[in-house]
Amino acid sequence: MSNFSDKVVLITGAGSGLGRATAVAVAAQGAKLALVDVSEKGLADTQAAVAEIAPDAATITVISDVSDETQVAAYVAATVEAFGRIDGFFNNAGIEGKQNPTELYGSEEFERVLSINLSGVFFGLKHVLAIMKEQGSGHVVNTASVGGIRGVGNQSGYAAAKHGVVGLTHNSAIEYGIHGVTINAVAPGAIWTPMVENSMKQIDAENPEQAAEQFIQGNPTKRYGKPEEVAAVVAFLLSDAASYVNAQVIAIDGGQSQKY
């Protein structure tokens, strides 16, 4: 039997990158999907990608700004209305924001990045955990970052938010384990997604390819990770196979965060 047969998985940031790759991964194992993103086109493209691998997968899409708690409550309610429950929650939506040293980092930009990357994760936890507590079961995976377990430079908002996601993960996990709910986080490193591609353009607008090549030389593997490699770990953590894995932050970065 598939790991996600008759399971309902809710994914934010589902319109691209890690969200899309995870949607495809769990749909291939029988999951019913609630896909959330701010991009209508991104959601349509993800639905198409899911249909290629799992033509019979039941899916709904919800356009939502995760920094707005009212919209977060609405995507959770839409999922429960469509499927009756939430078994897995990939709390993934996020942005990088503009790169600048702290003294030049815009205050409005700082608030914007925190509102999506941290408040959005908190709102998702708040509303989904109420459902899972009532069910007596569920698995949550938050998207942190290696920028949430170490400093990366020029990313005050991103680093602050992702460190906050790690804190939320640890805190909520010790609260809800007694209710049959596990809460973990993944900390991706240099995964080749649209966000990382845009980051290279910020580093060197004239030659982002060269910036990308230089950046990856510090990684023990000398390559970028693939969204599918992150999705495989997320799918495991969202499955019952990981039922005794709780309050963990799993780095998926080729070992770079452990390099002195």
Report, as residue numbers or ranges, the catalytic residues.
158
Question: Comparing C-alpha atoms, which of 43, 221, 234, 54 is closest to residue 140?
Answer: 234
Determine the Cα angle at 61 with ends 9 and 79, to 5°. Answer: 50
The CA-atom distances, in angstroms, between 20 and each of 44, 98, 238 are 11, 23, 15
Determine the number of helices (DSSP H) and then strands (DSSP E) in the chain. 9, 7
Residue type at 140 in one-letter notation: V
Residue matched to tokens 């356009």: 63
Question: Comparing C-alpha atoms, which of 221, 197, 192 is closest to residue 209?
Answer: 197
| 21 vs 24: CA distance, rounded Å | 5
